[in-house]
A and B are shown apart, each in its own frame.
Chain A
Amino acid sequence: MIQLRNVERTYKTGPGVTYVLRRVNVDIQSGEFVTIMGPSGAGKTTLLSILGMLDDSWTGEFYFLDQAVHKLDRKKRAELNRQYIGFVFQSYHLLDNLTVYENLDVPLSYRNISRHQRAAMVAETLDRFQIVGKKDLYPSQLSGGQQQLVGVARAVVGNPKLILADEPTGNLHSSQAKEIMELFKKLNDQGTTIVQVTHSEVNASYGHRTIQLFDGWVVNDPKAPKGEGESAPAASGGGR
């Protein structure tokens, strides 16, 4: 589903540049549940945003569902995002002024889907996540776990092929975290590819494999493309 080849991401810092990602080579197959781990500043979130087509300023090659993303313009990349990708955030990021129902409707409203069809999709998701009774509540009226449940529901409402989750349980109690991870597992079992960023070994254990990042380098990937795994110099060269 995903092939990254020599993907690099830099920031200009005064006269020089700072590398956030260096020569990243990663393959992710459809139906995989991949965990990205690493210390703060390793480049996890940056990698996630590149996978989510939110970041345009990188170099290298990126194939998504056999499409060469690096050759697509911003508009086409946004189209891929809309069609195939769902996001789950650490701080839930529900829109405060919208009800649960309206929050689920937001991503659908950005696609060319009729109001009638959208209503059906939202209703089906509410039902699937058993939050029908909360559909008219505002985020502030929900607990953290409930908010993240809605966050996940929002990510899947458009039936994405890929869910990108950035520290999805970072703000939750362990029991709530477990519930959410079970949910991810279930979604993955149903065929959705999941890439999560986490610091938690427990959460990582729900996935099929873990990619380790350090200072922008992929330092460990059990399924690294041939000749690419663990190619980074052990704790040097990040320039950060």
Chain B
Amino acid sequence: METLLQDVRYALRTLRHSRGFSVVAVITLALGIGANTAMFSIVNAVLLRPVPYPQPDRLLKLYTRMPQFAQASVSYLNFLDWQRRSRSFEAMAAYRTDSFNLTGQANPERLRGEMASSTMFPLLGIKPIIGRTFTADEDRRGAAPVVVLTSSLWQTRFGGKAEVLGRSITLNGNLYTVIGVVPSDDVTLQRVSFIIPIGQWTEPLFWDRGVGMGMRVVGRLRPGISPQQAQSELNSIAAGLAQEFPKQDKDRGITSVSLREDLVGDVRAPLLVLLAAVGFVLLIACANVANLLLARSRARRREFAVRGALGASPVRIMRQLLTEGLLLALAGGALGLAVAFSLNRLFVSRLADVLPRADQIHLDSSVLGFTALISILASLLFGVTPALQSSRADLNETLKEAGRGTTSRHGLQRSLVVVEVALGLVLTASAGLMIRTMSRLWSVDAGFDPHDVLTFGVAGSPAVHGTPAEIRNGLTATMQQMQSIPGIKAVSIVFGGLPMNGDSELPYWVEGRPKPAEQSQMDMALFYGIAPGYFSAMRIPLLRGRYLTEQDNEQTTCSIDIDQDLARKAFPGQDSLGQHLNFDLVPMQCEVVGIVGHVKHWGLDADATAKVHSQMYIAYRQFPDSVMNLASSDASYVARTAGDPYAVVPSLKRVVTGINGKMAMYNEESMQDVINDSLAARRFTRLLLGVFAALALVLAAVGIYGVISYAVTQSTHEIGLRMALGASRWKVLVMVLSSAMRLALIGIGVGAVTAFAATRALKGLLFEVSAADPATFAVVALVLALVTLIASYIPAWRAARVDPMVALRYE
């Protein structure tokens, strides 16, 4: 113990004396360890930390499986039947998120709320802070409206007072009695303000077995039942329902996935790729520090020889050096935590919407443990080889050399540079592929012009509890008022879903062909309920026929514009204009009056592979009266603006709130940002890979600089000699640069082969770019070569300025 303390004391003193070396080593390690800690804290929060529910491995998420969608929402009637018929599950709960207008308290406010079955609370183990949660009796049509608040709304709106229990709040014009408050840090509830019983919803479509209405189901397995057993039971339940309700359930199954997988499934692959990438950064940092230590241990050979001559065993010398390494690594780790903290703030601020559980990302005890562990591992990684070399030095030879430098034996250092360049190339190539992917994606024609377009939601109806005619007129008047705002060129309501933000599908069949027996056998198309201003707001091109106009209203027969995809699919080899499409879900028959361009609804990247691809546009005024109320309570809008889309937001808000005091505008987002959001996973990967690649390049440059610099110092005499023998400064410069470039070229070669294999892991994230894209690889190789050239230029320049007289003086 005493010798250990002595080692630590001596190590501290040695490091303090060589401050320059220590600072460079600590900063290098801090960058490597910091980046790794930051990445680990993300992986820990998103992938490793258990889902915060009791026995989370027994929780499964259940979806309807349809020919077009593997994970579609569940209809409420099917949910009730699943619940009744299943024996594998202890309980099942249904929930859907919606936006509600909270009125009657100061300004109207748009809030997200959960409609959930009463089983959700016990199933997820959510206990009320005050009051109670709702009962099964309250979770049915006709029961008294009750609401459970989440603690965030309770605190902000009701000051966290217990008197809130029993009070009434108005949501979408209906009164609800507050019966309890639950914590809002729950993963399911973190973005909602309250929960109301789903079974109370009277919307007719909700009670249609064929309609999902965005409802999700979670189930808790009985103890001892495996997910496979449950899936097999679900399959037979789905088969039974298909037989009983062929019209709605034929060809439909049930998909079950673990809750954890459901939460993190999409981001698992990119996160693991990034974790590997950041590991490379640490390896480069370690290679750098190992290089520094190797150079330093050569300079200290005499010291070790003297120590050896005085009786120090090789093990003791090695321990001394490893102690120094460990101290460096721990200092690097401590500083790395600060780096990680800054990186985390950057990542979380940019990625909160992309990553599930992003709010859980922080530097907790397991992250600190990880940092300590990788610091120790790093110290072994970079410390062992230099320590071994030093402890094995030949005493006699070293003392005879008496401190004279040697010009050879840089082999290991040069190999480490090769490794650094190779790893740098793998990271830079990965980042390069992501950058090319993004630029490819941004050059994809979305099918509409996303510039200067604002999208937003408006909650609340212009004619609450009004007749369908009043609602239609109210919506038209709302749009007319919006249209009159200076800076707005065109505006339209959109029911169904905006491109890349929500979707609704309608099954259809072509008039004149036999009606399929079941809904599931009908073809589906994305539908948009719009006002005539939609096409000019979005600038969707008309290919044939005409756009929908003001004349397409409730007084006239239904007209429909379809995209070229639907025209091709529904009317192959025929003229689609004048043909009719029939709809079952909302009983309508519409005549095709125009063919418009296809819009990449599912995203610039995913549209081509989407199962439901065809699109149709119906004038919202021609919707049947039966759906007008549902349609009017919450609608999306698009507006084409004369300049910055966000500039018109204040005027729009004034118009909306001025209509009847019960409407609120929310979720304002430019169409460009909507597209940006749709590419979030890729942006996230590109951002992180970019940061890691930049770090790798900086570290590799520092490493190359260090090694070449050291080699030049060691070769000063040789360089002087060559100059005495006639070498010009230029020749010396070229000689040093070419020795660095030789290393770089080997590194680039090794890196290219490694990257060729490694970038395959990115395949799923790439778009129209091959994982072995020659152009990317060529550019990246050039970048690495350039970095090498820049990093080695200063030492080479110094070499070219060596005074040839050193050759004569060196006697």
Indicate whether A and B interact: yes
Q: List 28 A-B contacts (CB under 8 A).
A: A49-B805, A54-B805, A54-B807, A54-B808, A55-B805, A78-B726, A78-B728, A82-B726, A87-B724, A87-B725, A87-B807, A89-B721, A89-B808, A89-B811, A90-B811, A93-B807, A93-B810, A95-B718, A95-B721, A97-B407, A97-B408, A106-B722, A106-B725, A107-B726, A110-B731, A154-B725, A158-B726, A170-B811
Tell me the A residues contacting B by CB distance below 8 Å. Answer: 45, 48-49, 52, 54-55, 75, 78, 81-82, 87, 89-91, 93, 95-97, 106-107, 110-111, 154, 158, 166-167, 170
Contact assessment for B808 and A166 in the assembled complex, using a CB-CB cutoff below 8 Å = yes
A52 touches B727 (CB 8 A): no
- Cβ of A195 to closest chain B Cβ, rounded Å: 13
Q: With A49-B808, A54-B808 as given contacts, are A96 and B726 in contact (CB-CB < 8 Å)?
A: no
Nearest A-chain residue to B810, judged by Cβ: A91
Residue of B nearest to A93 (CB): B721
Q: Which residues 765-811 in B have Cβ within 8 Å of A in the complex?
A: 804-805, 807-811
Question: Which of chain A's residues have a CB closer than 8 A to the CB of B717?
Answer: 93
Give A111's nearest chain B residue, CB to CB.
Answer: B726
Interface centre among B721, B725, B811 (most CB of A within 10 A): B725
With both chains docked as a complex, state the minimum distance between the C-beta of A197 and any C-beta of chain B, in angstroms.
9
Within 8 A of A (CB), among B517-566: none
B723 at the interface (CB under 8 A from A): yes
B811 partner residues in chain A, CB cutoff 8 A: 89-91, 166-167, 170
Give B703-736 interface residues, CB cut-off 8 Å to A. Answer: 717-718, 721-728, 731
Q: B residues within 8 A CB of A96?
A: 407-408
Q: Given the complex, which residues of B lie within 8 Å of A167, measured CB to CB?
A: 811
Could you tell me the distance between the alpha carbons of A91 and B811 in the complex, rounded to whole angstroms? 6
Docked pose: A96 CA to B721 CA in angstroms: 12
Contact A110–B721 (Cβ < 8 Å):
no
In the assembled complex, the CB of B261 is this many whole angstroms from the nearest CB of chain A, namely 59
Known contacts being A93-B810, A96-B408, A167-B811, is A110 close to B804, with CB within 8 Å?
no
Instruction: Give the docked Cα–Cα distance between A49 and B726 (Å).
Output: 13
Q: Which residues of B contact A54 (CB under 8 A)?
A: 723-724, 804-805, 807-808
Which residue on chain B has the smallest CB distance to residue A110? B726
Residues of chain A contacted by B408 (CB below 8 angstroms) = 96-97
Do residues A110 and B725 form an inter-chain contact, with CB atoms below 8 A?
Answer: yes
Q: How far is the CA of A107 from the CA of B722 in the complex (A)?
A: 8
* Mask: chain B, 397-409; 1 = CB below 8 Å from A; 0 = not: 0000000000110
How far, in angstroms, from A89 to B809 measured CA to CA in the complex?
10
What's the Cα separation between A13 and B656 when bound, in Å? Answer: 84
For B809, the chain A residues whose CB sits under 8 A away are: 45
Which residues on A sit within 8 Å (CB–CB) of B728?
75, 78, 110
Which chain B positions have C-beta within 8 A of A49? Answer: 804-805, 808
- Which residues of chain B are within 8 angstroms of A75 by Cβ–Cβ distance? 728
Main secondary structure, interface of B, reads helix
Report B-chain residues with C-beta under 8 Å of the C-beta of A45. Answer: 808-809
Chain B residue at smallest Cβ distance from A94: B721
Q: Which of A89, A106, A107 contacts B807 (CB 8 A)?
A: A89
A107 (CB) vs chain B CBs: closest residue: B725
Residues of A within 8 A of B725 (CB): 87, 106-107, 110, 154
Q: How far is A89 from B807 in the complex, measured between Cα atoms in Å?
A: 8
A110 to B259 CA separation, bound complex (whole angstroms):
72
Other-chain residue from B726, B731, B805, B810 in contact with A81 (beta carbon distance below 8 A) = B726
CA distance A97 to B718 in the complex (A): 10
A53 to B407, CA, bound (A): 26
Docked complex Cα distance between A106 and B717 (Å): 15
Chain B contacts for A106, CB-based, 8 A: 722, 725
- The complex places the Cα of A71 from the Cα of B38 at a distance, in Å, of 63
- Closest beta carbon of chain B to A147's beta carbon, Å: 14
Residue of B407, B718, B727, B810 near A110 (CB, 8 A) is: B727
CB of A161 to closest CB in B, whole Å: 14
Please give the distance in Å from A150's CB to the nearest CB on chain B: 13
In the bound complex, residues from chain B placing their C-beta under 8 Å from that of A97 are: 407-408
In the complex, the 6 A-B pairs of residues with the closest C-beta atoms, listed nearest first: A110-B726, A82-B726, A54-B804, A107-B725, A93-B721, A110-B727
Question: In whole angstroms, what is the CA distance A52 to B407 when docked?
Answer: 25
Rounded to whole Å, the gap between the CB of A188 and the closest CB of chain B is 21
Chain B residues whose C-beta falls within 8 Å of the C-beta of A48 in the assembled complex? 808
Question: For B722, B724, B808, B811, which residue has the most chain A Cβ atoms within 10 angstroms?
Answer: B808
Known A75-B728, A95-B722; further 16 A-B contacts with Cβ < 8 A: A45-B809, A48-B808, A49-B804, A54-B807, A54-B808, A81-B726, A87-B724, A91-B810, A91-B811, A93-B717, A96-B407, A106-B722, A110-B731, A154-B725, A158-B726, A167-B811
Which B residues are in CB contact (< 8 Å) with A78? 726, 728
Complex: A183 Cα to B710 Cα, angstroms: 39
Question: Hey, which chain A residues are within 8 Å of B807, CB to CB?
Answer: 54, 87, 89, 93
A187 CB to closest chain B CB (Å) equals 18
B805: chain A residues at CB < 8 Å are 49, 54-55
Chain A positions within 8 Å of B721 at CB level: 89, 93, 95
Give the shortest distance, in Å, between B45 (CB) and chain A (any CB): 53
Bound state CA distance, A78 and B728, in angstroms?
7
Measured CB to CB, the nearest residue on chain B to A83 is: B726
- For B406-429 the 0/1 string (1 means CB < 8 A from A) is 011000000000000000000000
Cα distance, A54 to B728, chains bound together (Å): 11
Give CA–CA (A107, B728) in the complex, Å: 11
Contacts of A90 in B (CB 8 A): 811
What's the Cα separation between A95 and B808 when bound, in Å? 14
Interface centre among A49, A96, A167 (most CB of B within 10 A): A49
- Shortest beta-carbon distance, B173 to chain A, in Å? 89
Bound complex: CA of A121 vs CA of B811, how far in Å?
29
Chain B residue with the shortest CB-CB distance to A97? B408
The distance from the CB of A196 to the nearest CB of chain B, in whole angstroms, is 13
Give the complex CA separation of A166 and B725 in angstroms.
14
Cα distance, A81 to B718, chains bound together (Å): 18
- State the Cβ distance, A6 to closest chain B Cβ, in Å: 21
Q: Which A residues are in CB contact (< 8 Å) with B724?
A: 52, 54, 87
Assembly CA distance A154 to B726 (angstroms):
12
Assembled-state Cα–Cα distance A111/B728 (Å) = 10
Name the distance in Å between A40's Cβ and chain B's nearest Cβ: 11
Cα(A91)–Cα(B490), bound, Å: 89
- Give the nearest-CB partner of A78 in chain B: B728
With both chains docked as a complex, state the minimum distance between the C-beta of B507 and any C-beta of chain A, in angstroms.
79
Query: Which A residues lie within 8 Å of B723 (CB)?
Result: 54
Nearest to B809 among chain A residues (CB) is A45
A166 to chain B, nearest CB (A): 6
CB distance from A81 to the nearest CB of B (A): 6
Q: How far is the CB of B482 from chain A (nearest CB, A)?
A: 77
User: In chain B between 138 and 167, which residues have their CB closer than 8 angstroms to a CB of chain A?
Assistant: none
The distance from the CB of A109 to the nearest CB of chain B, in whole angstroms, is 9
The residue on A at minimum CB distance from B727 is A110
Q: Which residue of B lies closest to A53 (CB)?
A: B804
Using Cβ atoms and an 8 Å threshold, which residues of chain A touch B804? 49, 54
CB proximity of A140 to chain B, nearest CB, Å = 10
Shortest CB distance B410–A (Å) = 10
Shortest C-beta distance, A104 to chain B (Å), equals 11
Residues on the B chain within 8 Å of A81, using CB: 726
Q: Tell me, rounded to whole Å, the shortest Cβ–Cβ distance linking B719 to chain A.
A: 11
Q: Tell me, in angstroms, the Cα distance from A55 to B808 when the chains sit together.
A: 11
Q: When chains A and B are docked, how far (Å) is the Cα of A78 from the Cα of B804?
A: 11
Docked complex Cα distance between A91 and B808 (Å): 9
What's the Cα separation between A166 and B807 when bound, in Å? 11
Q: Which residue of B lies closest to A75 (CB)?
A: B728
Smallest distance from the beta carbon of A9 to chain B beta carbons, Å? 11
State the Cβ distance, A92 to closest chain B Cβ, in Å: 10
CB nearest neighbor in B for A55:
B805
A163–chain B nearest beta-carbon distance, Å: 13
Chain A residues with Cβ below 8 Å from B726 are 78, 81-82, 107, 110-111, 158
A90–B792 Cα distance when bound, in Å, is: 32
Instruction: Using CB atoms, name the residue of chain B closest to A52.
Output: B724
In chain B, what residue has the closest Cβ to A74?
A: B729
How close is B693's CB to chain A, nearest CB, in angstroms? Answer: 35
Name which of B726, B727, B731, B809 has the most chain A CB atoms within 10 A of its CB. Answer: B726
